[in-house]
Structure 1
Amino acid sequence: MTSDSDQQNLRPPPHVLIFPMPVQGHLNPMLKLAHLLCLAEFHVTFIISDSNHRRLLQHTTASAAFSRYPGFQFRSLPDGLPDNHPRRGHGAMELMSSVANVTVPLFKKMMIQENFLASAARRSITCFVADGLLSFAPDFCEENGIPLICFRPATASYFWAIYRFPQLLQAQEIPFGGDMNISIFVKDFVGKSMDGLIESIPGMEGFLRRRDLPGFYRVDDINDPTLKGVVAAVRQINRAQAVILNSCEDLEGQIVAEMQNYVPRVFSIGPIHEQVKYRLTEKEAESSIITASLWAEDRSCIDWLDAQPPKSVIYVSFGSLTLLTREQVLEFLHGLLESSQRFLWVMRPDSVTGSNAEDPVPAELMERIKGKGLLVEWAPQEKVLNHPAVGGFMTHSGWNSTLESIAAGVPMICWPYLGDQQTNSRFVSEVWKIGLDIKDTCDRKIIEKAIRDEMEVRKDEFMERSTNLAKLVKRTISKGGSSYNNWDDLIQYIKSLVI
């Protein structure tokens, strides 16, 4: 005779379905979430685009790392775009549309045909962890009786600024303001009021300017389809049973508290890359942390860093989606060179647009760079940020990069590009005070001054604050910390969903 506990042990564990938007900034933290769930001995099905799956297999060890966990499986689906589509910059918006029109119908068909992924060894899905931009998820889950957990890869502050869209619109605190002659209103607005403070977002009064609102607000038309889609997806969050944030209460506690008025359960478990490291150490697991690089990493830059003095190098990377003009590349290069600081710049081969995009750096500048700087196409970013030679990070302020820099104790110079980056950069400069925000300008003199301020003039001030904040976020994912406890609570919550 078997006891109840024996029967419980014979039952399959919870089965979590994860579906990220197929861009690196969303794929990366959701792969790490999958890793954490595998460490909790859950079954995990991870939806990935065919294109990203091929690139993961080519450029990472993710497949080999996940092979340690028999309960994990990738399921790949087309994203509906041709192989040569850029899928970055403004092409990312086309990707979002194609996912909705092509990937989602194929996903729904697969789920029904395969009985919601049930098998002899695997129960039907226990819950659906959906990227916060997947607006189909609430209807899909309600129609099929599946608990929905929304994963927000960006900051709680960004979510909150989008969620408050109706109040911002009513208060005319965003550039178009509902005026009938929108294009004229925007020009006038930008000229006069972009530095005015926002008053309609509780928790961010006193420091958030109109200039710092999410990039999706920067449109000429109130009916812009991308803005409408993003707002609609965010406003549906109260239909989820729970929300997972890749953030922590020490960084955004007041905003998380505001969110909890609208969402029944909010689990702040970040920084998720540090949570994975800690849990691997705690379990004495052999597996290494899983990364989601979609480009080949040039590890020769680590050898170059090894030869540089401590805290002497500024690391420059504008992420996986940012596009630069050749003119902007030249402004940044001149600013870097005139600052007399050593630098390591990640310049993606597809990151420069316009004429001369394939050869953006003139030969005479390449000569000046030798010995002082290094250009690479992609780098192992976490390893770079934690290298003792790195003393600053010039960044697009993507949330993954920002969290990695915070955890590494590296001050930032922020040049945001889109989405949550406009808001993140303001938090870096005005709330956490661990860097400078130079948004909406690309001038070599301003760039040079920011670099000198961070690496020389105010170096000690920024390093002290960055070091203290790094210690704080490390504590939050350690045993007894808020993110550590929130992760354990999330695991128990998912277990409670098993019927």
Structure 2
Amino acid sequence: MEIHGRAPTLQWTVPTATRRRIALFSMPFQGHINPMLQLANILHSQGFKITMIHTEYNSPNHSNYPHFTFKSISDNFSEIINQLPKKDPSFYIKYLNSSCVDPFRNCLAGLLLEEPIACLIADAGFYFTQAVADELKIPRVVLRTSSLGCVVAYGVLPILSEKGYFNPPKEDYETSVPEHPLLKFKDIVKISINPQGMSEFVTNMHNQMKASSGIIWNTFKELEESALETIHQDFPIPNFTIGPFHKYFSASSSSLIEQDRTIISWLDTQAPKSVIYVSFGSVARITELEFQEVAHGLANTGLPFLWVVRPGVVSGSEWLELLPEKFLERVGDKGRVVKWSPQQEVLAHPATGCFWTHSGWNSTLESICEGVPMVCSPCFVDQPIIARYVCDVWKIGVLLKDDFERLGIEMTIKRVMMDDEGEEIQKRIHCLKEKVNLSLVEGGSSYRSLQSLVDYILSF
């Protein structure tokens, strides 16, 4: 059985008389804002009133969500972000977990004076919120925006840091890590340039997840069943796998960058499954040389491509001035380069045949939901772990081994788009797509988990 399009609207609703308010608080980064707003929409559809607390940095567009109440808190992040090491998110997270404490406490306390709040749903990365919730005597449920498998792998990071695995000899890069054989040493190198800071963050986050009243996951049971068993052991509190969040509603945008919608009409002119879609997300950066190798690699495939080049993806660049000479003339109408795209719609388009991705969790889920095979180029934090699951566990993608080298790019894309291996990948990811759809209809695993979450919140 295959269910086309978005999952049907869920059939139960909370009676109006029991409408209760939930406060939600997201980390101020695109990959965290999107799932939190999606979760808020899901809970609103179940009858809850929603208050979104957010930082001034990367503030969401309130007008896109007239059914929510928004409360902004100061964070001072914009003032110091350029002073922090750009390649290590643990510096950013540590700062935010310090600078937001008092403003968040004051905001939440003020909300409680106005109206009772059933619970706080906070991004797991904001680990300081557990102490605030305890102080104000409000249940705290966390949203973990990455995969179950990433959290399992993160559990061994402090051990790997102590053993010096973050700085292995280059000849060991392709060797599996004994404590977590799915990963190779080169994956550990990519996770963080600051092993101690990353280990401290993971320890703080996991400790406060265990202290919470429950965990919400943007995944579905059938995708990560073995990891879910480990999660139940390591985090013996209620766990709710209600994802993929974005499938509950038609595509909507909480993007911080304006989307170029003209590409949909261009996709309409392309043959089925012929287009390479390339996007490295909202944060990742590449070097000038890597940027040019990507361009040459795409052109050399001879296949049509849609390439998202975010302004500033190469440090110091405005946009396309670093492209190889006469590149756009060379590819002609076979290639489109845009600043940002409506990604869910691009992946759902019949012309899209492959997704070259940075392996962020949101992008990975969106690709699975539309049955689009992946080429993976993970950059940092959880992305190398996700890429290993995509390529080595679920076998629905191929890892780009020679990072951003034109011949490797061309050969890897052709493996997915043109070889027998690509056909097998297509069959496996199509099977997962069907499992996603079944999980969301009445009686499915995500449907039942959401019903359990609603009942649990109402029990507070």
* Structure 2: tracts of 5 or more residues without a match: 1-13
**Structure 1 residues 480 and 332, CA, compared in 2 at 3 Å: closer, same or farther?**
same
Residue 78 of structure 1 is matched in structure 2 by: 74
Residue 173 of structure 2 is matched in structure 1 by: 194
Asked if residue 232 in structure 1 is aligned to residue 207 in structure 2, the reply is no
Asked if residue 39 in structure 1 is aligned to residue 38 in structure 2, the reply is no
Asked if residue 127 in structure 1 is aligned to residue 102 in structure 2, the reply is no
Contact 1:158–1:423 (CA under 8 A) maintained in structure 2:
yes
**Structure 1 residues 89 and 313, CA, compared in 2 at 3 Å: closer, same or farther?**
farther
Q: Encode CA deviations 1:145-202: one digit per residue, 9 max, x unaligned.
A: 22111110011111111123344456x4x624xxxxxxxxx2xx2323232223434x
Q: Give the partner amino acid of 1:345.
A: W
Q: Number of matched residues?
A: 444
**Structure 1 residues 467 and 442, CA, compared in 2 at 3 Å: closer, same or farther?**
same
Contact 2:147–2:218 (CA under 8 A) maintained in structure 1:
yes
For 2:157 and 2:199, how far apart are their aligned partners in 1? 10
**Structure 1 residues 355 and 127, CA, compared in 2 at 3 Å: closer, same or farther?**
closer
Q: Kindly, what percent of the aligned residue pairs are identical?
A: 34
Give the TM-score, by structure 1 length.
0.83
Q: Encode CA deviations 1:86-141: one digit per residue, 9 max, x unaligned.
A: 799538555434423333321112223x1x4343xxx3222111111112022122
Contact 1:392–1:411 (CA under 8 A) maintained in structure 2:
yes
Residue 4 of structure 2 is matched in structure 1 by: none
Q: Give the partner amino acid of 1:245.
A: W
* Aligned pairs for 1:377-392 within 5 A: 377-392=339-354
Match of 2:384 among 399, 413, 422: 422
For 1:150 and 1:413, how far apart are their aligned partners in 2? 31
Residue 49 of structure 1 is matched in structure 2 by: 55
* Structure 1: tracts of 5 or more residues without a match: 1-7, 177-185, 278-287
Asked if residue 485 in structure 1 is aligned to residue 457 in structure 2, the reply is no
For 1:134 and 1:440, how far apart are their aligned partners in 2? 35
Contact 2:261–2:342 (CA under 8 A) maintained in structure 1:
yes
Partner SS for 2:356: strand
Report deviation, 1:473: 1.3
Report deviation, 1:359: 1.4
Asked if residue 273 in structure 1 is aligned to residue 236 in structure 2, the reply is no
310-319 vs 74-83, which moves further: 74-83
Report deviation, 1:237: 1.7
Contact 1:13–1:43 (CA under 8 A) maintained in structure 2:
yes
**Structure 1 residues 353 and 145, CA, compared in 2 at 3 Å: closer, same or farther?**
same
Match of 1:159 among 151, 158, 176: 151
Residue 341 of structure 1 is matched in structure 2 by: 303
Partner SS for 2:107: helix
Asked if residue 473 in structure 1 is aligned to residue 436 in structure 2, the reply is yes
Residue 251 of structure 1 is matched in structure 2 by: 223
Asked if residue 107 in structure 1 is aligned to residue 97 in structure 2, the reply is no
Report deviation, 1:355: 6.9
Q: Encode CA deviations 1:458-492: one digit per residue, 9 max, x unaligned.
A: 33222212211111111112211111110100000
Match of 1:366 among 320, 328, 352: 328
For 2:391 and 2:88, how far apart are their aligned partners in 1? 29
RMSD over aligned CA atoms reads 2.5
Q: Give the partner amino acid of 1:304.
A: W
- Max radius of gyration: which structure? 1
**Structure 1 residues 355 and 404, CA, compared in 2 at 3 Å: closer, same or farther?**
closer
Residue 23 of structure 2 is matched in structure 1 by: 17
**Structure 1 residues 496 and 340, CA, compared in 2 at 3 Å: closer, same or farther?**
same
Partner SS for 1:17: strand
Residue 5 of structure 2 is matched in structure 1 by: none
For 2:400 and 2:169, how far apart are their aligned partners in 1? 16
